[in-house]
Chains A and B, each alone.
Chain A
Amino acid sequence: AQSVTQPDARVTVSEGASLQLRCKYSYSGTPYLFWYVQYPRQGLQLLLKYYSGDPVVQGVNGFEAEFSKSNSSFHLRKASVHWSDSAVYFCVLSDSNYQLIWGSGTKLIIKP
């Protein structure tokens, strides 16, 4: 059965430090993968998406993610975080039936 796992419920990093949020998926076919972000008291917004091609995809605000078929992963990265990046980040998989499977989310906390 397909699934998305975000193993870290909370991640705390210092402002200016690099970031990696982990996402593992389970899916037998070719996955379409997304990262969404939810800023405090707001709806969700798309950060980036991967369909095929270059495994490293660029998103908004300096975020990127790398798809790895061998590791079944789609980790999100940023070279230098800003306090405004504090939010909850969701990894999402779309299957061939257009069903979205959502990860449980990772809350990112930025220390000054």
Chain B
Amino acid sequence: DPKIIQKPKYLVAVTGSEKILICEQYLGHNAMYWYRQSAKKPLEFMFSYSYQKLMDNQTASSRFQPQSSKKNHLDLQITALKPDDSATYFCASSQEGLSQNTLYFGAGTRLSVL
């Protein structure tokens, strides 16, 4: 059974709309992350959260807003969608800090913006 659930698996949106990408992890981890993968960038770190608090934000645009309603949830809200936002978005989790700990990834949400 997958321990990190991302929903939906595929998502098609129109330019200017808003979408929420869901991520839930059942590994008991206290740190969660969002990454983006596209043809332009193989893997791009976006956000990290620890104990539901934002630790690091490498996303320049405020259109991307993580939301953590529970310790094991880290959703990603994207507003005013643009075609350039088309990518696969991966959620990941780990225990404590990253230096020695393994990242566990979800299967991703593939977003296409038309």
State the main secondary structure of chain B at its contact with A: loop
B102 near A49 (CB under 8 angstroms)?
Answer: yes
* Residues of B21-64 contacting chain A, CB below 8 A: 42-43, 45, 56
A20 to B86, CA, bound (A): 33
* Residues of B66-114 contacting chain A, CB below 8 A: 90, 92, 97-100, 102-108
* Residues of A27-42 contacting chain B, CB below 8 A: 32, 34, 36, 42
Q: How far is the CB of B38 from the nearest CB of chain A, in Å?
A: 12
B100 near A43 (CB under 8 angstroms)?
Answer: no
With known contacts A43-B90, A94-B98, A98-B97, A105–B103 Cβ distance under 8 A: no
Q: How many A-B residue pairs have CB under 8 A?
A: 47
Q: CB-nearest residue of chain B relative to A51? A: B100
Q: How far is the CB of A22 from the nearest CB of chain B, in Å?
A: 16
The interface size bin for chain B is 10 to 19
A46 near B42 (CB under 8 angstroms)?
Answer: no
**Total residues of chain A contacting the partner, CB 8 A:** 21
Q: In the complex, what residues of B have CB within 8 A of residue A45's CB?
A: 105
B42 near A104 (CB under 8 angstroms)?
Answer: yes
Q: Does A76 contact B (CB under 8 A)?
A: no
Q: How far is the CB of B9 from the nearest CB of chain A, in Å?
A: 10
23 residue pairs bridging A and B, Cβ less than 8 Å apart? A34-B102, A42-B107, A42-B108, A43-B4, A43-B90, A43-B105, A43-B106, A43-B107, A44-B43, A44-B92, A44-B105, A46-B103, A46-B104, A51-B100, A90-B42, A90-B43, A94-B100, A96-B99, A98-B97, A102-B42, A102-B45, A104-B42, A105-B42
